[in-house]
């Protein structure tokens, strides 16, 4: 079977069987096309690859200046690909077996302080439809810790504001129900009554958050909104949609929330992913201790 067809079937497996997002599938495609180009230069087929070939490929990527995180991602894509080929009986042995990923340095996620979050949330102009939308979006993201894709993917039927809940689809199309605080509920209701009707162009549009054309707001649109308000608020930290999610998790843990509860709300499949936030709270604890203890 031609390598191009093998890759196409693998990507279709990720979409259909694994339920991975379009962005994740595209990332796999990009990484594996790069690997296949290397194999082509060496005159090798996918089925002819040995472990030494993969090691050589990754070593060359390192020599070309690729970082540890990127190389780890390349290996993860190759490993997943060969696991699939072995499962489909297209190869007799998995050349990635026993290969260890390069150890990553734990980069603590950037977070905003509670004061910075409040400053950011106060920037939208509530006299305008977009201002009402933006305040509601930012409040909801900080209140729930949703990913930006989950936030923008919300439809009207996903909201149960009177009950204080929102239903969203996370990674792998896994559904979860997240509680929403009173303040976020108030701003959401205000947007739905006074803002969304002024943005909506079609009665059949079910997206909660709309752009000026009455269509679902895009990730790029949200990023521009967030960046603009951060600059307006004078926040000097590098900010992204994920920063609000990180801030949400960190502030919960700092105030005594159980790690398992935070894991459930964030939609993390593995609690080790959530544990990164405990490192942040420990760092802050150490700073407070050193500033306040007379013999620190």
Give residue 285's pLDDT. Answer: 47
Specify whether 133 is catalytic: no
Name the active-site residue from 147, 196, 246, 251: 147
Q: Is 268 a catalytic residue?
A: yes
- Residue 218: how many other CB atoms lie within 10 Å: 12
Q: Over the chain, what is the mean pLDDT? A: 83
- Residues 227-258 have pLDDT tens digits of 999 999 998 888 887 788 778 777 776 666 66
Q: Which of 73, 79, 171, 216 is catalytic?
A: 171
The answer, yes or no, to whether residue 275 has pLDDT greater than 80, is: no
Share of the chain above pLDDT 70, in %: 81
Annotated catalytic residue, options 28, 82, 187, 277: 277
Report the C-alpha gap between 111 and 249 in whole angstroms. Answer: 9
- What is the per-residue pLDDT for 175? 77
Given the residues 62, 174, 219, 242, select the one marked as catalytic. Answer: 242
What is the pLDDT at residue 157?
Answer: 95
Residues 137 and 151: their CA atoms lie apart, in Å, by 8
121 band by pLDDT with thresholds 50, 70 and 90: very high
Residue 245 annotated among the catalytic residues of the structure: yes
C-alpha 189/C-alpha 239 separation (Å) is: 27
d(CA 281, CA 287): 10
Could you report the per-residue pLDDT of 84-111, keeping only the tens digit for each?
A: 999 988 898 889 888 777 665 555 557 7
pLDDT at 18: 87
Sheet holding 165-169, edge to edge: 159-160, 165-169, 175-179
- For position 37, what pLDDT does the model report? 92
Which of 83-87, 138-142, 270-274 bottoms out in mean pLDDT, i.e. has the lowest?
270-274
Q: How far apart are CA 22 and CA 16, in angstroms?
A: 11
Domains of the chain: 3-87 (1.10.150.130), 114-290 (1.10.443.10)
Q: What is the structure's pLDDT at 97?
A: 87
For residues 67-82, average pLDDT: 88
CB 274 within 8 A of CB 266: yes
pLDDT at 296: 43
Catalytic (active site) residue 73: no
* Residue 149 near residue 24, CB atoms below 8 Å: no
In 112-208, where do the E strands start and end? 159-160, 165-169, 175-179
pTM check: above 0.75:
no
pLDDT exceeds 70 at position 270: no
Token couple for 216? 């679902």
Q: Determine the pLDDT at residue 289.
A: 43
From the candidates 135, 196, 245, 246, give the one annotated as an active-site residue: 245
Among 16-20, 82-86, 131-135, the range with the most confident prediction by mean pLDDT is 131-135
Residue 114 CA to residue 41 CA, distance in Å, equals 53
Instruction: Tokens 């739905």: give the residue.
Output: 192
């Amino acid at each position: 079977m031609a390598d191009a067809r093998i890759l196409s079937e693998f990507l279709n497996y990720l979409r259909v069987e694994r339920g991975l997002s379009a962005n994740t599938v595209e990332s796999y495609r990009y990484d594996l096309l790069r690997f296949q180009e290397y194999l082509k230069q060496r005159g090798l087929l996918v089925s002819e690859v040995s472990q030494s070939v993969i090691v050589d490929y990754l070593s060359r990527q390192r020599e070309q200046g690729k970082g540890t995180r990127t190389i780890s991602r390349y290996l993860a894509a190759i490993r997943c690909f060969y696991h699939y080929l072995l499962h489909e009986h297209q190869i007799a042995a998995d050349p990635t077996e026993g290969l260890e990923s390069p150890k990553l340095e734990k980069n603590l996620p950037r977070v905003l302080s509670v004061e910075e979050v409040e400053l950011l949330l106060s920037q939208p102009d509530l006299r305008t439809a977009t201002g009402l939308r933006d305040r509601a979006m930012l409040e909801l993201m900080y209140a729930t810790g949703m990913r930006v894709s989950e936030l923008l993917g919300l439809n009207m039927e996903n909201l149960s504001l009177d009950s204080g809940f929102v239903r969203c689809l996370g990674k792998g199309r896994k559904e979860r129900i997240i509680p929403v605080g009173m303040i976020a509920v108030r701003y959401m209701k205000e947007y739905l009554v006074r803002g969304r009707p002024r943005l909506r162009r079609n009665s059949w549009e079910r997206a909660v958050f709309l752009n000026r054309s009455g269509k679902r707001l895009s990730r790029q649109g949200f990023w521009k909104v967030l960046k603009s308000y951060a600059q307006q608020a004078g926040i000097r930290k590098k900010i992204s949609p994920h920063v609000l999610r990180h801030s949400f998790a960190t502030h919960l843990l700092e105030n005594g929330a159980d790690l398992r509860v935070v894991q459930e709300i964030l939609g993390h499949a593995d609690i080790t992913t959530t544990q990164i936030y405990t490192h942040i709270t420990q760092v802050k604890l150490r700073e407070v201790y050193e500033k306040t203890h007379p013999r620190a």
